[in-house]
Structure 1
Amino acid sequence: MRKSWFKRLLLSYMPVFMIVITFIFFVFFQMFSEQSRREALNANKTLSLQAMRIVDTSLKVIDNMIVLESINSESLNNFFKANSGSDAYINIRAVQKLKELINYYPLIDSIYLVRYSDGYVLSDATNAYIGSYPDRKFIEEYQVSKTPKWTGGRSFEQFKMIGGKQVASLVRGSPYMKNNLGMIVVNVSADSLKKLTENMYESKVSFIQAKDASGQLLFGSEAKVKESELFSEYTSDYTGWKYGSGLINGGYVNTISELYNLWFVIGLLMIAAGFIWMIYVTRRNARPIERIAERFSDYSLPVRGAGLWKGSPDEFAFIESAFDHILEQSRQYQEKYQEKYQEDLHLRTRYLFHQLIEGQTDMSLEEWQEEAAILNLPEPLDRFRLLIIELDNYGEFCRKYTASDQNLLKFVLRNVVNEIAMKESIRLWSEWTSPSCLAVIYFEGDETEEREGEALPRFGAKMRGWTEQNLKFTVTIGSGEEVYRIQDLSKSYKSAAQALKYKIVLGENRLIRSEDIAGTSHAEVYAHLGEISSIIQSYRMLNIGWEEAYEAWFAQLKGSLLTNEEIFNLMNYLLYNVGRELSDMNKDVYREWSQVRLPLLTEMLDHGSSLEQLRIEIKQVMTSLFESVGQLQEGRQYAALIREICKLIEQDYANPDLSLEMLGDRFQLNPKYISKLFKGHTGQRFVDFLIQVRMREAVKLLLETDASVQEIAERVGYTHAISLTRVFKRIMGTAPGEYRSNQLRKTNG
């Protein structure tokens, strides 16, 4: 009996022992496989990085050499300064210099020079004019841009009979920094670059490939890399090219992977065998368990139905009674701790939500699905989008309602969002991330792709309409970009927050998509600074047209695309200039401004929620001070004279001879005295005021006409376009032509 029981126990535990041993081998080979994979990956990374450094170093040497030669080479400088291509001596000297460079730097395949004055092209092997040169399209494309750069791969054909060759080209302007006489084009053969890296790897086992910024292969093999193979890639900060390397056949790594798969199958088979054996042993050993149960036949449990045990033919009645007793205890325990359990689930849900939108989790889609089932959350789909529902005018909301009412309204708002989404068959998950912002993960699937463009606006319109009608406040929805990976939810959240930064310009109680927001340029901000200076200047000169200019400026702000921060910075700049002008006048007026009016306006800016509100309140203060400033200005000597001079400048700004000397002759005063009077009354120099008027008219002509820069220069008082360009770039931050292109591109989307 003892031997029989010993054998039964031994056979019962033997499958468990085998399973443990199998899994030990499984874990060992898994670790070994992972280590091999990491070593292969590190080797690939080192190979890619080394190849990139070798190529970049070689190209930088060529680039530095070209810069030095363009500065120091007399033969190259003489070629670019020549008026025509007929001077054979200059051409021969230039060709000799090009051949010296090619001989000294073997990577260089060919070099040619382009002179802008007559369109003459000179290379180490031929000469022609741009119109007939085989590389004409490339010259015309890069002649517009003066920025030195390495191009991507392209076909260069110097002689049609020989055919094209794959090269990468360096474009440098001459002379250095000015780039206005011509350009130097250096062509480096892709085969030469390939030879630099040939000795770094074994071509039968691994590969190196380099692609330009557009994805075109420069050199190396166009290997088809599977997801399971090891592959590494680096992007050069110097050229923008991408260098990749990997294993061709997998080699040793594939062998290890196959062993891993083999042991995995063996492990599964052993688990199945152990499971079958456990069933068999359990059935065979059932009788001893029954005997054990019989020994408890005289035991009485303090539970319902325990008295039936003794006479019951069912040998599991005792176990059933005991189980009922345990369930009763479990129910009591659950009732006691249910409230705390629900609270823990709520905290766990909020914590997971914040991890997702802040990008602090590496959770996979499968893990999220498991977590969603536990926390009773919507099951994720293929695509995601973050929405931020922000309470409009939150300061007024807090002043109007008590803390308990605020919490109740927020609770209602969140429930309304969920109910409307349910009616629209939309999956979403919402959590409050700040006192004024409700963040929503908006799930999108392939089946809703066709109506996706309508579903989100319709959902937003219903939610905003219900809130405005029933809760008596409004909300603005910021929509982030669409993402396909869980890890990119933080990116969508940031883009939704960025969209809400334009609420003060685009208006409240609406849906603002991140896709519809285009970044504004500094030139546009500079233009608004000029408008502010013009308004303040007109205000100080007691010109009643300041109100018209003020209203026109705010209308321009409504049509612009500036963030809330930029709008408030412009308002602060306006208030600063008003205070600066008032500080030069009566002390009582300035004291009233600095101690009473300015603090009120500053507080209004801190709580301002709309552009219209800012326009009205600032205008009220400026209008109330206008009469006081006017009385002070009228009492000052020469005030009427300065107003007449300003009016003359605004009418005769197109006269290139307009100057202090001309004004002195007209008004019979010393020019220096007029300059002093003008500065004292306007707070601005005569030349600065004249430039401001001319730049305002130049911007208008650039945006409303097709006139050339030269024509616009003549119409605003400059003889040459270069004079207008220099002043325009200093004031607006960009050249006239570039400013026009940027504004047209922004208008056309």
Structure 2
Amino acid sequence: MMRKSWFKRLLLSYMPVFIIVVTFIFFIFFQLFSEQSRSEALNANKTLSLQAMRIVDTSLKVIDNMIVLESINSEPLNNFFRAAGGSDPYINIRAVQKLKELINYYPLIDSIYLVRNSDGYVLSDATNAYIGSYPDHTFIEEYQVSKTPKWTGGRSFEQFKMIGGKQVVSLVRGSPYMKNDLGMIVVNVSVDSLNKLTEDMYESKVSFIQVNDASGRLLFGSEAKVEKSELFSEYTSGYTGWKYGSGLINGGYVNAVSALYNLWFAVGLIMIAAGFIWMIYVTRRNAKPIERIAERFSGYSLPVSGAGLWKGKPDEFAFIESAFDHILEQSRTYQERYQEDLHLRTRYLFHQLIEGQTEISLEKWREEAVRLNLPEPLERFRLLIIEMDKYGEFCRKYTAGDQNLLKFTLRTVAGEIAMRLNIRIWSEWTSPSSLAVICFEREETDDREGEVLARFAAQTLNWTEQNLKFTVTIGSGEGIYRIHDLPKSYKSAVEALKYKIVLGENRLIRSQDIAGTSNAEVYAHLGEIRSIIQSFRMLNIGWEELYEAWFGQLKGSLLTNEEIFNLMNYLLYNVGRELSDMNKEFYRRWVQEGLPMLTEMLEHGSSLEQLRFEIKQELSSLFESMRRHQEGRQYTSMIRDICKLIEQDYANPNLSLEMLGDRFQLNPKYISKLFKEHTGQRFVDFLIHVRMREAVRLLLETDDSVQEIAEGVGYTHAISFTRVFKRIMGVAPGEYRSDQLRKANG
């Protein structure tokens, strides 16, 4: 009973203060709101006038510019003005068509007519006559003397007497432009059309717009008589000279109401003073019971020395405050530790799932999901890996703090995009450059999930590229139905990303897109590399074609990143090996400059196109230096002729060093030595390489038997051909043909 009495006493004591303050705030609020609304209305009214002027001026300028351009460029109009006396129907018809075309293209135009000075002939879109009989002859005669590029004020234009006139503003332009000696073009714009441009911009019951021409006559807008004091804004167009005025209807009443603001403010001050006096009285009356309660704490010692003192005196409220601060600090510390523990447990569980190091059941996962605030598992799962492209460049470009912020942003955005697409995901960073994402899918919506996954990937890729200034590539693993198969889906996503350098960055790579696809045999590319290096060593300009063709094959071969880098290293190794047998200066330049630069490029290379460009640029520079050096050496031309002869006559089984010696009048052994020095390859190895290259082409492009192909490339016995082919290509000719056909057919 005592508690209720004390509650009612406090409530009734402070209620008058509450009522006074609320009443004052209520009136002040509505007064401030009224004043703010008035201020905003005035600002909006000023903007209204300015916007109306800009809209009208812009519309008229567009028409003016169009007329100037047409007077210069339009063939029908120029033909009309240059026509001799009399009227050519064909010229007139084309001119009328042009006028109608302009009217249709610019709906503001009400009518256009042309006046030809040579004979006083007037032609409009609806009629034709001579100046003396044309209804608008007074206007024509006035402006024939002085043509103005400005728009006229409002005037009545009458094209047909039986229809009557309408209010228009007119633009007069001479033809041709600048000279103005052949005639003039008169464009009439209806005042009603200009009025419609602005009438939707304001509420006629609240505000008004009046537009007067240069002479002060009303063009359009509100027709009511407006006092000067009711105009809140007025602008004069520098283009037309028209005046645009706007204001609020009943503006005088609004000003009178706003004047009451000072009265309400004075009443409010009185109410505050009354409330303050009443509060002091009530506080003094109610302070005694609180003081008695505080006295009961004075006998307790505080937990912290000095915590219950204020200016050297005991302070019971400081004691209570200190106790509460101590409790809150303990609670905050506990919450921080708990949240940190939850984060660590979440990451630990994620890594256990994708690495297959846990035997957690579906029910146990659901319990953990509730405890750790994770998405609940569904019927099917899929792993995605969002890998940052050019991560080395990313680390060099940003500080550690910026890197963490951008990674946090990427993860957050991926979650928001998934939420918008109604996808459940769980993402964690598994490496500095890779964000692993578990997608939860429903079994009965396979097709839709595939579409939604593609949309999720596309939106993530686009947003990252446009807003974070770097790109990512997404590897998609296969869909699985058991928790214990999550490592399998994760591994397939990792495998998909291994083809990024061939398939390209900033895209989605699905595991099913590469699954079951036979990778091109690496050793088949080794032969292409040897052909390129051989042509390069022989200073054959055709090496570039072989180089480009080989990279074209790489783009379609679907090799992994590791296989691509191995082939590039093999290419660089062969370049160095060939150069080591040649001029020491070239080899030194290669070892000290070219090779280190290309090796570093390989370490940071991100695309096949980048590798192609960088390596070709260095080899081209080296090729030009070698070519200039070799041009001064003896026998260079002869070795080139021998290489061409081998390329053309490889099918001759009698092609040998002895035959070349007879042909070039040199000792066969000396030819062999020169060939090795200039090409870096023995004659017989070069001949075998040419024959095997042609044999591969015949195996893939024809149905000829192995015996026929052997004879076609210079071998009299198929056994010899098969033995050499197997030594070079790794398999017999028949097996090679079968393997390639099987790969081509999937």
TM-score, length basis structure 2: 0.55
After TM superposition, what 4+ stretches of structure 1 lie above 6 angstroms from structure 2?
326-332, 519-523
Report the Cα offset of residue 387 of structure 1: 1.0
Counterpart position of 2:493: 496
Task: Mark the CA change 1:616 to 1:546 in structure 2 (over 3 Å): closer, same or farther.
Answer: same
Instruction: Give the SS at the match of 1:717.
Output: coil
Counterpart position of 1:463: 460
Counterpart position of 1:596: 593
Counterpart position of 1:672: 669
Q: Say whether the 8 Å CA contact 2:520–2:557 is kept in structure 1.
A: no
> Which of 329, 338, 343 matches 2:340?
343
Report the Cα offset of residue 518 of structure 1: 4.9
Report the Cα offset of residue 606 of structure 1: 0.8
Counterpart position of 2:658: 661
Amino acid at match of 1:651: Q
1:222-261 counterparts in 2 under 5 A?
none
Q: Say whether the 8 Å CA contact 1:520–1:562 is kept in structure 2.
A: no
Report the Cα offset of residue 543 of structure 1: 0.7
Counterpart position of 1:421: 418
Report the Cα offset of residue 328 of structure 1: 12
Task: Mark the CA change 1:677 to 1:521 in structure 2 (over 3 Å): closer, same or farther.
Answer: farther
Task: Mark the CA change 1:353 to 1:611 in structure 2 (over 3 Å): closer, same or farther.
Answer: same
Q: Say whether the 8 Å CA contact 1:357–1:493 is kept in structure 2.
A: yes
Counterpart position of 2:187: none
Amino acid at match of 1:737: G
Counterpart position of 2:474: 477
Report the Cα offset of residue 517 of structure 1: 1.8
Counterpart position of 2:741: 744
Instruction: Give the SS at the match of 1:450.
Output: helix
Instruction: Give the SS at the match of 1:488.
Output: helix
1:88-237 counterparts in 2 under 5 A?
none
Matched, 1:394 2:371: no
Q: Say whether the 8 Å CA contact 1:579–1:593 is kept in structure 2.
A: yes
Distance 2:668 2:501 in 1: 47
Counterpart position of 1:605: 602
Instruction: Give the SS at the match of 2:386.
Output: strand
Task: Mark the CA change 1:698 to 1:456 in structure 2 (over 3 Å): closer, same or farther.
Answer: farther
Task: Mark the CA change 1:521 to 1:424 in structure 2 (over 3 Å): closer, same or farther.
Answer: closer
Counterpart position of 1:362: 359
Provide the aligned length of Structure 1 versus Structure 2.
Answer: 426
Amino acid at match of 2:337: K
Matched, 1:616 2:608: no
Matched, 1:553 2:550: yes
Q: Say whether the 8 Å CA contact 2:382–2:486 is kept in structure 1.
A: yes
Matched, 1:639 2:621: no
Counterpart position of 1:578: 575
> Which of 511, 528, 539 matches 2:508?
511
Counterpart position of 1:441: 438
Counterpart position of 1:94: none
Distance 1:742 1:499 in 2: 24
> Which of 660, 683, 687 matches 2:684?
687
Deviations 1:468-525 (A, max 9, x none): 1121211111112222221221122112111111111111111111222257879721
Amino acid at match of 2:614: E
Q: Say whether the 8 Å CA contact 2:519–2:558 is kept in structure 1.
A: no
Where does structure 1 lack aligned partners over 5 or more consecutive residues?
A: 1-301, 304-325
Where does structure 2 lack aligned partners over 5 or more consecutive residues?
A: 1-295, 298-322
Instruction: Give the SS at the match of 2:357.
Output: coil
Distance 1:539 1:333 in 2: 76
Report the Cα offset of residue 624 of structure 1: 1.2
Matched, 1:406 2:374: no
Amino acid at match of 1:367: K
Amino acid at match of 2:713: V
Distance 1:677 1:329 in 2: 94
Counterpart position of 2:718: 721
Matched, 1:540 2:537: yes
Deviations 1:612-633 (A, max 9, x none): 1111111111111112211332
Report the Cα offset of residue 589 of structure 1: 2.1
Distance 1:430 1:381 in 2: 16
Report the Cα offset of residue 348 of structure 1: 0.5
Matched, 1:567 2:538: no
Instruction: Give the SS at the match of 1:412.
Output: helix
Distance 2:523 2:396 in 1: 37
Q: Say whether the 8 Å CA contact 1:391–1:436 is kept in structure 2.
A: yes
Instruction: Give the SS at the match of 1:362.
Output: coil
Report the Cα offset of residue 545 of structure 1: 0.9
How much identity, in percent, do the aligned residues show?
A: 80
Amino acid at match of 2:645: L
Q: Say whether the 8 Å CA contact 1:378–1:428 is kept in structure 2.
A: yes
Deviates more, 1:373-382 or 1:703-712: 703-712
Q: What RMSD in Å do the two structures reach over aligned CA positions?
A: 2.4
Q: Say whether the 8 Å CA contact 1:523–1:739 is kept in structure 2.
A: no
Report the Cα offset of residue 417 of structure 1: 0.9
Distance 1:330 1:382 in 2: 45
Distance 1:421 1:522 in 2: 34
Distance 1:610 1:582 in 2: 27
Q: Say whether the 8 Å CA contact 1:586–1:632 is kept in structure 2.
A: no
Deviations 1:169-213 (A, max 9, x none): xxxxxxxxxxxxxxxxxxxxxxxxxxxxxxxxxxxxxxxxxxxxx
TM-score, length basis structure 1: 0.54
Distance 2:499 2:668 in 1: 48
